[in-house]
A and B are shown apart, each in its own frame.
Chain A
Amino acid sequence: MAAIFPLDLPFPTAFYLLLYLLTLIGHVVFMNYVLAGCCYLAWVNLFSGRASVPRHRRPLADVLSDWMPFAISAAITMGVAPLLFIQIVYKERFYSANLLLSHRWMIMLPILILGFYLVYVVRSWRQRETSPAKRAPVVILAAACFLFAAWSWTENHLLSLDRASWPALYAEGNLRYRTPELLPRLLLWIAGSFPTMALLAAWQLKRHQSEPDLSRSVVTRELPAMALGGLILSALLAGWYLLAILRELNASNGAPPAFPMNASILLYAALALAGLVLQAIGWLRLRSAIDGTSASLVLPSLGLLLTLAGVTVLRELYRLSRVDITALHTQHAELLRSGGFWAFLVFALINIAVIAWCIHAVARALRASRQSASGCNRFLGSD
């Protein structure tokens, strides 16, 4: 029986690939929050609704606006590690794609800076009323900035897989890589970001102090609808993307699409599907829950982790089917001997402990602050 990924690879290559994938998942979690969160904020600021509390003033929009700057920082910081490891694993492929897209790729940086500052502007509006005419363009522009980044990364990734097109693309000086895979892949990512954002927001709203009834309603109604919608749409878009891949793979010989199956693809597809099912069950149960307790969020959380793991590996398996890195195995083995790993491990453990302490210290202070506030309320008879 053929070995399952990553056991089918030499240890050094498998090791670096696993590190890349694990750190990529960390980046994807925050990135999905940013992408879906900004799209949601754009939506609710364009269509505030006619309810007594407009959508952009409700707990979900409030929590997203409040935490978006941190989420962007976290997405950028968590993106450093996969950016490092992808250079080790795929080097020439990654670099060449960057170079071929040139200024079109580099412009992503000022656009991300703009998006980041716009999000701070949106955050500053949380405590005061601003006109829709002022609000909507800002949030739409912020969302557009992050959508542009998503498009750029998707294009960069797909270009890195298509070495045959590089000389011609370079000669044209086009700075855009066109492929039938681009749109379905990008849309799949965008749709798939909503279940992640919904889950993170659900955990946040569980602790939302102001407007507990509204928060409960969001957690048990709005977020499950968003997550389930995202899951269904993702499944459909995944089908479309698969067809696009198969057409590309078989375009040269005119044969009907044939799915290249192996044990690794089966296993990780099953993992992703299992995660999808767990998420769906979890969100459906949440809809009928009395309140959005922590326990009811465990199942969709577990499902999301499985889906992210499965999809991330599938993504990589597709890349490995198009990019032969056999020639790099020796180089990966040499790099593993380059030194500094133990320093990384020691400091990583120390810094994880420091981060945990920071979070614990703040959580303790928040608890003390809430207890003090409720104590004051009881004293003043406001309960």
Chain B
Amino acid sequence: MTTSFPYYPVNDFGPVMKGMVIGGLGILHVFLAQFAIGAGMLLCYFQWLAQTGRSVHARRFLDGYFKVLVLISFVVGALTGVGMWFTTIQISPRTIGTMVDVFHWLWATEWTFFCVEIVAGYAFYRYASILTDRVRMALLLCYAIASWFSLFWINGIISWQLTPGDWVESRNIWAGFFNPSFWPSLIFRTIVSVTIASLVACVVINALPNLDRPARAELIHIAARPLIFMVFMPVLGVWYLAAIPDDSRSWVLGGSAAMTLFFAGTVGASLLIGLYALIAMIRRRLFVSGATATLLCALALQATAAGEFVREGVRKPYSIRETLYSNSITRDEVEHLRAAGSVTHDPYPLRNADEYPNDQLRRGAKVYRLQCSVCHTIDGANGLTHLTGSWTLEQKRMNIAKLQHTKPFMPPFAGNAEDVESVVQLLTWTVAHRPARWPESNDPQTLATISQWLDEAGTRPGIARTTATGTRMPE
């Protein structure tokens, strides 16, 4: 049993859920990064068309498109990538710390590919006009391959969080990297990357000066060709769903209203893009104006956002499956904190201790801060007072003590009976509009009942453990 627990300072984001903060930045970064990856491949294609004389306008598009790539992806894409590390530290330092511990050599490998991207990318950006077609193509290939490999490496690390596979038992890095959802997500993201790049290309083509409509139409038709790969997305989606744990899949397919809604959002948006691409662009039925192309990009952003939300959400109650819960507590530490109390040794005082009328409420605030605040606010987004609004006092006590059975995507409560009661009192006090006076609740019988509920619930999660082959194991 663990005998110590690493406490970190926890920051408050007001009424905003922390998941929204990391989600917002993450979605932006993923969209821009995937654009950069797809752009590399699309640029190689256009360079080939240009140097083989298959398209007279390809070179003009190439130069304009590359400028967009450099100005957007090399700036915001790169900085939001670093920003993801910083933001993850803000939300869950133990999650990023564990990921770094396990995969630092593969992250370092990804970094070497970043270096190739920058050098090849800027070399093309600065000197393309004086380079031969052969060298231009070689630089673009270097850039495209390097950017795809950066996806390769990060995909393995990210997908490991949800499906760590055999790594849980063997701690073998390659078993964790090439985990059950690695291949479907890699291929899916590759297709998403070229899709985004194609859609952005349509915007750029419309913005290029001194191009007549037939020329634009020709370029748009060429840029849209990679969209044909979208036909594989449903198959890959099914493969991905089959690879993820049963409980995660069940939430996406109706078990959780929010997850199902976002899943439907990503599927719907992707379907709209695919249908429009098929009719309008590939079959040359319609001319895609700048406004339409921008709208399609916005749909792609929405699909990305919803998809990433689902991918993150279905990891619950874990941030790293079988290893670390969303609130940065490990499975073994639950037992320790049940015995010792979750905030007994927390060195960080409350920032607004004077606002609470008694020590029990202050304790409740600290327990909430440690265990709940990563995903909930008190009375803002995903607020605890809203979620528990219909519960009686007794129901609050039992449901929180048996948290992992109240909602299977919740982790087990990692504290003792006093911790449970302090959170219950905190929520009740908040609903009562935070009066200046509030009696402490220390009834021994109540605490004994809560302890009994905690024992009945146990320290294991409410979801079944799954092996790498998908076999559900008893807890």
Q: Could you say which of A102, A171, A362 has the most chain B C-beta atoms within 10 Å of its C-beta?
A: A362
Closest residue of B by beta carbon distance from A334: B101
A166 cross-chain contacts in B, Cβ below 8 A? 9, 347-348
Contacting pair B9 A100 (CB below 8 A): yes
Known: A77-B115, A354-B116. A106 touches B101 (CB 8 A): no
- Residues of A at the B interface (CB closer than 8 Å) are 69-70, 73-74, 76-81, 83-85, 87-88, 91-92, 95-96, 98-100, 102-103, 105-106, 109, 112-113, 116-117, 120, 166-167, 170-173, 335, 338-341, 343-344, 347-348, 351-352, 354-355, 357-359, 361-362, 365-366, 369
Contacting pair B113 A91 (CB below 8 A): no
Contacting pair A338 B115 (CB below 8 A): no
Contacting pair B111 A80 (CB below 8 A): yes
A85 cross-chain contacts in B, Cβ below 8 A? 104
User: What separation, in Å, do the CA atoms of A338 and B174 have in the docked complex?
Assistant: 10
Query: Closest 6 A-B residue pairs measured CB to CB?
Result: A340-B105, A339-B173, A95-B93, A351-B112, A344-B105, A99-B9
B93 cross-chain contacts in A, Cβ below 8 A? 95-96, 98-99
Closest residue of A by beta carbon distance from B105: A340
B348 cross-chain contacts in A, Cβ below 8 A? 166-167, 170-171
Known: A70-B122, A340-B109. A83 touches B135 (CB 8 A): no
Contacting pair B146 A344 (CB below 8 A): no
- CB of B240 within 8 Å of the partner chain: no
- CB of B209 within 8 Å of the partner chain: no
Contacting pair B97 A91 (CB below 8 A): yes
Closest residue of B by beta carbon distance from A79: B82
Contacting pair A355 B115 (CB below 8 A): yes
Q: What's the least CB distance linking A77 to chain B, in Å? A: 5
New A-B contacts (12) at CB < 8 Å, excluding given A103-B11, A348-B108: A76-B78, A92-B8, A96-B9, A99-B90, A102-B90, A109-B79, A109-B86, A113-B75, A166-B348, A170-B348, A348-B112, A361-B139
- Residues of B at the A interface (CB closer than 8 Å) are 6, 8-11, 71, 74-76, 78-80, 82-83, 85-87, 89-90, 93, 96-97, 100-109, 111-116, 118-120, 122-123, 126-127, 130-132, 135, 138-139, 142, 146, 172-174, 177, 347-351, 353
Known: A77-B115, A105-B86, A109-B82. A167 touches B349 (CB 8 A): yes
User: What separation, in Å, do the CA atoms of A359 and B120 have in the docked complex?
Assistant: 8
B102 cross-chain contacts in A, Cβ below 8 A? 338
Q: What's the least CB distance linking A230 to chain B, in Å? A: 27
Closest residue of B by beta carbon distance from A337: B171
B139 cross-chain contacts in A, Cβ below 8 A? 358, 361
Contacting pair B101 A88 (CB below 8 A): yes
Interface residue from A83, A341, A357 paired with B85 (Cβ < 8 Å): A83
Q: What's the least CB distance linking A329 to chain B, in Å? A: 15
Chain B contact residues: over half helix, strand or loop, or mixed?
Answer: helix
Q: Could you say which of B83, B85, B104 has the most chain A C-beta atoms within 10 Å of its C-beta?
A: B104
Known: A83-B85, A113-B79, A355-B116. A361 touches B111 (CB 8 A): no
Closest residue of A by beta carbon distance from B107: A84
A74 cross-chain contacts in B, Cβ below 8 A? 118
Q: What's the least CB distance linking B26 to chain A, in Å? A: 13
A-B contacts, 5 of them at CB < 8 A, read A85-B104, A95-B93, A96-B9, A117-B75, A338-B101
User: What separation, in Å, do the CA atoms of A53 and B123 have in the docked complex?
Assistant: 30
A116 cross-chain contacts in B, Cβ below 8 A? 75, 79
Known: A77-B115, A92-B6. A109 touches B83 (CB 8 A): yes
Interface residue from B103, B111, B135, B351 paired with A173 (Cβ < 8 Å): B351
Contacting pair A81 B351 (CB below 8 A): no
User: What separation, in Å, do the CA atoms of A366 and B118 have in the docked complex?
Assistant: 19
User: What separation, in Å, do the CA atoms of A323 and B74 have in the docked complex?
Assistant: 36
User: What separation, in Å, do the CA atoms of A369 and B135 have in the docked complex?
Assistant: 14
Contacting pair B114 A80 (CB below 8 A): yes
Q: Could you say which of A77, A120, A171, A359 has the most chain B C-beta atoms within 10 Å of its C-beta?
A: A77
Q: Could you say which of A96, A116, A120, A340 has the most chain B C-beta atoms within 10 Å of its C-beta?
A: A340
Known: A84-B108, A109-B83, A116-B79. A96 touches B97 (CB 8 A): no
A88 cross-chain contacts in B, Cβ below 8 A? 100-101, 104
Contacting pair A344 B86 (CB below 8 A): no
User: What separation, in Å, do the CA atoms of A342 and B112 have in the docked complex?
Assistant: 13
Interface residue from A79, A173, A362 paired with B123 (Cβ < 8 Å): A362
Interface residue from B75, B90, B104, B120 paired with A335 (Cβ < 8 Å): B104
Contacting pair B109 A80 (CB below 8 A): no
B142 cross-chain contacts in A, Cβ below 8 A? 354, 357-358
Contacting pair A170 B351 (CB below 8 A): yes
Contacting pair B119 A359 (CB below 8 A): yes
B109 cross-chain contacts in A, Cβ below 8 A? 340, 343-344, 347-348
Contacting pair B112 A347 (CB below 8 A): yes
